[in-house]
A and B are shown apart, each in its own frame.
Chain A
């Protein structure tokens, strides 16, 4: 996994030594700008920064998880381009993907930590069980100990998936293992939360690319999520939104409304309170996404989505007026003109707290 020969080379040098032309590199940068929801005007800047980027060491720890996040990442749909990102990092430890196991693998982690102390990126998927250290161990080391030890020398931590970001399914009531998130335990490092069950593959690589490109972490929202991917709700970018605005809803999965592609709000869609990139980035090579396939959004990138009261129950909203909207300048100047107004998030948080059942009419106030 580690290729030490390449450690001191810039990404441009690595690519050129593999016979990748400048045109190929520009194409890579265009796809990168697109996946990071950046204005195409950023393409030359990305090209310049990436050309001079050096490979950061990445240590990936997997705790209480289902490996879905790693599955998602390894199926990132821009195959060639994504593999470039992997060439661009030095993935020094990932116990699912690496060939070594047991003590040899732990040695690789310790070496990477020593050699890159203070500079490596730590990626974590899965939650950490606090009920009993024996619930989840790697080479006899508890998840808690491994996280705390590895976090010490990290430049930044990327929590991948809803389990690492908020506790996720392991933390769902009654939380038998006492599962907690990375942010619950670590307070003195920059943490980038990349929630989703699993997160969209290009969102994971997008965050890595951002770090490579700018050497900094992207701008985050109040839940620690990068705004470029989580800045807008599913509802704000949903192509079924005009039906919602006209009050046209599917009432069952096989009625006329469902066949006509009307809004899925009444079937329990959590789009209005969920912030994620599904509506434009889509899934499976950009083929489709849950709402396009006729299923409501489950809200998988939000805290406690599993305990939200039922996937098919219409959202409860507050009785207070939540019509205040904010204007986005997202995804470049062009898209901004096309964007639908977005409801104010903090109002929605209040909505959650109030949690009284409301009707469609209340939502439309």
Chain B
């Protein structure tokens, strides 16, 4: 994720490589997550904000994971970015608030992050909406397409 996109100010006053030494263990955790996914189908979710990381370490992790085939954006209570990393099955899910500040960031090891799936409640609401819209259009003799346009 390019720095400018989040608008976060960085104070690059620290020098040092892998200061907390948490980068490697975290990547191993991701590897175990993949093993688990392959063997049992169980998913792993890692909250990046719960781990002590030095100023540049989160970027380092993101750089190593890179970007793969899927980039999805969703707009629900602010933007969210769901990116499949170059390691298939390893996803980076970043939630922003209305002011484009990151409110949480997770690494999910799964075939598809839950937040991307259409939710039953929303599907039911969509069904009622479409039904109502169709009824309205029959009454007014106007097509749904015209109405929404």
B102 lies within 8 A of chain A by Cβ: yes
Distance in angstroms from A303 CB to nearest chain B CB is 25
A24 and B77 contacting across the interface, CB-CB below 8 Å: yes
B1-56: which have CB < 8 Å to A?
Answer: 8-9, 11, 13-16, 19-22, 25-26, 29, 44-47, 49-55
Distance in angstroms from B22 CB to nearest chain A CB is 5
A133 lies within 8 A of chain B by Cβ: no
How many A-B residue pairs have C-beta atoms within 8 angstroms? Tell me.
Answer: 147
Top 3 nearest A-B pairs (CB, nearest first) are A40-B45, A261-B14, A22-B119
Distance in angstroms from A34 CB to nearest chain B CB is 4
With beta carbons under 8 angstroms apart, the residue of A33, A40, A239, A335 that contacts B54 is A239
B21 and A80 contacting across the interface, CB-CB below 8 Å: no
B98 and A80 contacting across the interface, CB-CB below 8 Å: yes
Residues of B contacting A22 with CB < 8 Å? 119-122
Q: Which of A58-66, A104-112, A114-122, A282-290 contacts B (4 or more CB under 8 A)?
A: A282-290
Q: Once the chains are docked, how many angstroms separate the CA of A26 from the CA of B117?
A: 11
A27 and B106 contacting across the interface, CB-CB below 8 Å: no
Distance in angstroms from A299 CB to nearest chain B CB is 19
List 4 extra interface pairs beyond A280-B52, A338-B26, CB under 8 A.
A237-B52, A239-B19, A239-B20, A334-B44
A34 and B49 contacting across the interface, CB-CB below 8 Å: yes
Residues of A contacting B76 with CB < 8 Å? 20-21, 23-24, 27
Residues of B contacting A34 with CB < 8 Å? 47, 49-50, 103-104, 106
Q: Once the chains are docked, how many angstroms separate the CA of A20 from the CA of B13?
A: 41
Distance in angstroms from A4 CB to nearest chain B CB is 25
B97 and A77 contacting across the interface, CB-CB below 8 Å: yes
Distance in angstroms from A78 CB to nearest chain B CB is 4
Distance in angstroms from A40 CB to nearest chain B CB is 4
- Known: A20-B77, A261-B13. Is A242-B47 also a contact (CB below 8 A)? no
User: A residues near B, CB below 8 A?
Assistant: 16, 20-24, 26-28, 30-31, 33-35, 37, 39-41, 43, 77-81, 84, 237-243, 259-261, 279-281, 285-288, 292-294, 330-332, 334-335, 337-338, 340
Distance in angstroms from A332 CB to nearest chain B CB is 6
Distance in angstroms from B120 CB to nearest chain A CB is 8
With beta carbons under 8 angstroms apart, the residue of B8, B16, B52, B57 that contacts A285 is B8
Residues of B contacting A79 with CB < 8 Å? 97-99, 101
B30 (CB) vs chain A CBs: closest residue: A334
A81 and B77 contacting across the interface, CB-CB below 8 Å: yes
Q: Once the chains are docked, how many angstroms separate the CA of A34 from the CA of B121?
A: 24
Residues of A contacting B19 with CB < 8 Å? 239-240, 242-243, 261
B50, B54, B102, B120 interface centre (most CB from chain A within 10 Å): B50
- Known: A80-B98, A81-B103. Is A27-B11 also a contact (CB below 8 A)? no
Residues of B contacting A27 with CB < 8 Å? 76-78, 80, 95, 115
A20 (CB) vs chain B CBs: closest residue: B77
Q: Once the chains are docked, how many angstroms separate the CA of A247 from the CA of B114?
A: 45
- Known: A26-B114, A81-B77, A242-B19. Is A31-B95 also a contact (CB below 8 A)? yes
Residues of B contacting A30 with CB < 8 Å? 93, 95, 104, 106, 115
Q: Once the chains are docked, how many angstroms separate the CA of A73 from the CA of B13?
A: 29
Residues of A contacting B95 with CB < 8 Å? 27, 30-31
A80 and B104 contacting across the interface, CB-CB below 8 Å: no
- Known: A77-B97, A78-B97. Is A288-B11 also a contact (CB below 8 A)? yes
B13 and A280 contacting across the interface, CB-CB below 8 Å: no
Residues of B contacting A260 with CB < 8 Å? 14-16
B50 and A335 contacting across the interface, CB-CB below 8 Å: yes
B115 and A280 contacting across the interface, CB-CB below 8 Å: no
Distance in angstroms from B28 CB to nearest chain A CB is 9
A337 and B25 contacting across the interface, CB-CB below 8 Å: yes
